[in-house]
Amino acid sequence: MTPPLLEARNLRKTFPAAAGAFAMGARSGVTAVDDVSLELAAGETLAIVGESGSGKTTLARMLLRLIEPDSGELLIDGRDFLAARGAALRALRREMQMVFQDPFASLDPRMRVAAIVGEPLEIHEPGLARAARGARVAEVLRAVGLGEDAQSRYPHEFSGGQRQRIGIARALVLRPRLVVADEPVSALDVSVGAQILELLQNLQRDFALTYLLISHSLPVVAQLATRIAVMQGGRIVETGAAAQILSAPTHSYTQSLIAAIPVLPETT
């Protein structure tokens, strides 16, 4: 049997509690992720849904080893990701890239777009010839809907939606298998966000991508996800096929999230 692309077992992460002037007791820390297990098969989109503070972003960063878990196991294709070091770790990391929430803060304002998108190639493929690197950058920019003229410009010359396209291009230039998208449209206008979601759908098909989508928005999740895991207080409280979770949730927290979705009044 083929192992999942990514598998997490009993992941846990606690951060030190802030020591305020009025702190009471001997609270040792805040548990952001508490005994979380999940699987992600190649080609699917798993959405991690929950309110702010539920632990979903911390979980996503642990899955990429941007944050080290306190305990638990993390497997990539059945291989121990947490035990990987040196070249083995770099090889695994190039297969897993992230699209960040804020398209304004995630791009270096001092770098031109060609350098921003090409930077992962300099790190992971230092032997790649300059012409080949330029061709790869141009290819991935075209894939996200940006022309050749974008390469010589700076991030401040682009709209929010265009900046997010640049961030997506940077994530795809290494041709990863897994893309973690952390609230990829929450900083954008609704219409622009819809265009980015459609782009992500098309890219998944064209590049054979697997997505881990982090979102607080169930309408966003409904457009992209094949499966949903609902987080509350650092734990996954419900998981299942997207259609089942959205139409017939069983956990009271999931039901409350769905009940909070605004309903537009009917027009006469």
Indicate the domain borders of the chain. Answer: 105-175
Q: Can you give the pLDDT at residue 18?
A: 65
- Give me the amino acid identity at 233: G
Specify whether the CB–CB gap between 174 and 96 falls below 8 A.
Answer: no
Q: Can you give the pLDDT at residue 36?
A: 95
Whether this model's pTM surpasses 0.85: yes
Whether the per-residue pLDDT at 209 is higher than 90: the answer is: yes
- Give me the amino acid identity at 220: V
Whether the per-residue pLDDT at 4 is higher than 60: the answer is: yes
CB proximity list for 263: less than 8 A, separation 6 or greater: none
Cα 55 to Cα 13: distance, rounded to the nearest angstrom: 9
Specify whether the CB–CB gap between 238 and 230 falls below 8 A.
Answer: yes
Whether the per-residue pLDDT at 264 is higher than 70: the answer is: no
Cα 243 to Cα 4: distance, rounded to the nearest angstrom: 21
Q: In terms of C-beta density within 10 A (0-12 exposed, 13-18 middle, 19 or more buried), how is residue 45 classed? A: buried
Q: What is the mean pLDDT of the chain?
A: 90
Whether the per-residue pLDDT at 74 is higher than 90: the answer is: yes
Whether the per-residue pLDDT at 26 is higher than 70: the answer is: no
* DSSP output for the chain: -PPPSEEEEEEEEEEPPP--TT--S----EEEEEEEEEEE-TT-EEEEE--TTSSHHHHHHHHTTSS--SEEEEEETTEETTT--HHHHHHHHTTEEEE-S-TTTSS-TTS-HHHHHHHHHHHH-TTS-HHHHHHHHHHHHHHTT--GGGGGS-GGGS-HHHHHHHHHHHHHTT--SEEEEESTTTTS-HHHHHHHHHHHHHHHHHHT-EEEEEES-HHHHHHH-SEEEEEETTEEEEEEEHHHHHHS--SHHHHHHHHTS--PPPP-
Percent of the chain with pLDDT over 70: 93
Positive or negative CA dihedral for 160, 218, 3, 76? positive
Pick the residue with more confidence: 243 or 265? 243
Percent of the chain with pLDDT over 90: 69
